[in-house]
Amino acid sequence: MEVYKAETRRVIRRFLSHRLGFANTIAGLDAALARVIPRLKPGQLDELRAIMLANNEMVMAEMHRRASLRKQNAATAS
């Protein structure tokens, strides 16, 4: 599970620093999930779910922030 956490942190860090776009971020998170599922122990499902939800919150918050900035920039340019 620690490897999954580290992988997803790296992906999200790259997304937040604008080195990855949304689609590549989702692909990276999906790839990390695909690698962890075969090694998952039954007792780790809750932890995995919590990490996935936290990752989702961070990505969605950043997408909302970027959309707000685009709207502000469009309004300023008009």
* 22 contact partners, CB below 8 Å, separation of at least 6: 15, 59, 63
The token pair at 29 is 């998170």
The beta strands (E) that lie in 7-72 are given as none
Q: How confident is the model at residue 76 (pLDDT cuts 50, 70, 90)?
A: confident
Residue located via tokens 């961070």: 58
- Local structure of residue 44 (DSSP, 8 states): G
pLDDT value of residue 9: 97
pLDDT value of residue 68: 94
| Residue 77 predicted with pLDDT over 90 | no
| Residue 27 predicted with pLDDT over 90 | yes
pLDDT in tens, 33-62: 999 999 999 899 999 999 999 999 999 999
Tell me the C-alpha distance between 78 and 73, whole Å.
Answer: 9
pTM of this structure: 0.86
Q: What percent of the chain stands above pLDDT 70?
A: 99
